[in-house]
Structure 1
């Protein structure tokens, strides 16, 4: 009987040992799981962090959008002011010409020669203002007719070649390279044979 008890005892020992091993393995797995759970945040923590980051990004986006709107509004205001006050410098230069004209009209005992001198001085002031702002005179006498710069008012028989400007009825003006008023001209035509 002792022999039959021996395998049972060994079996119980093995079960005991394997149970201890299972307990050790389970305990070990539990420790690893606990340390892993400590190292990796829970889903709730991840969600809170993601929500915080999303809120920060949303706030940054709102600020950037507001800044862009402010820049757009400022640019529109600057453009409107530029259109509205574009001729401010030119206007202030013309004030001296206006002052000269008013001074000439205010003189009570003026002679014809004084008026002529005053008009000549005023004309010089106006020419100086035009030069300062790149306003150039178009005076094309003797030049070939150019429809981009001239406006033909009439055609006259002339010794000059056909399509040549014979007379300027009203001078034209350029602002830099843009025509602000074409010159009104008489143009030569071929003589009738």
Structure 2
């Protein structure tokens, strides 16, 4: 007989390894994978939130830029509004002075003054045109509450109802925006004609 004992037959998993140790060793990588997946999901959620914040901040910055551009454009376009509202009253006064009828035998100096008023009005109109001021003279036009202010209504057989009979004060637009409405008298429907055969 030999002094050595024969090793037991069968598969061996390692020195002094038991089946329980082997199972525990296999579970550790699975737990790490789950932890890594959870960390990955958290990082993805944070990345999505950060991207959302970035996109909102960029949109807000773009909106602020557009608002600033619109404000600058409006300031350029309508910056003359207060000045224009005052200068149109000067034009009204010049126009009223020009409408005074002169007798044929009037002083030549007065006639020259009328010519000067005509030239001044033409010069003002060219300046108004250059800066986007447009005259609103709606004589005979349909009443437009967006651009006209009715101060009274009168019956009229010649002018259709809701049309301007008389312009008391002309209006103005500044770059197509109403600066001052035209003050107008509006036609209303005349009395109805009596039915035939009645007097």
Relative to the length of structure 1, the TM-score reads 0.45
Structure number with the higher helix fraction is 1
Relative to the length of structure 2, the TM-score reads 0.44
More RCO (CA 8 Å, sep 6+) = 2
Higher-Rg member (1/2): 1
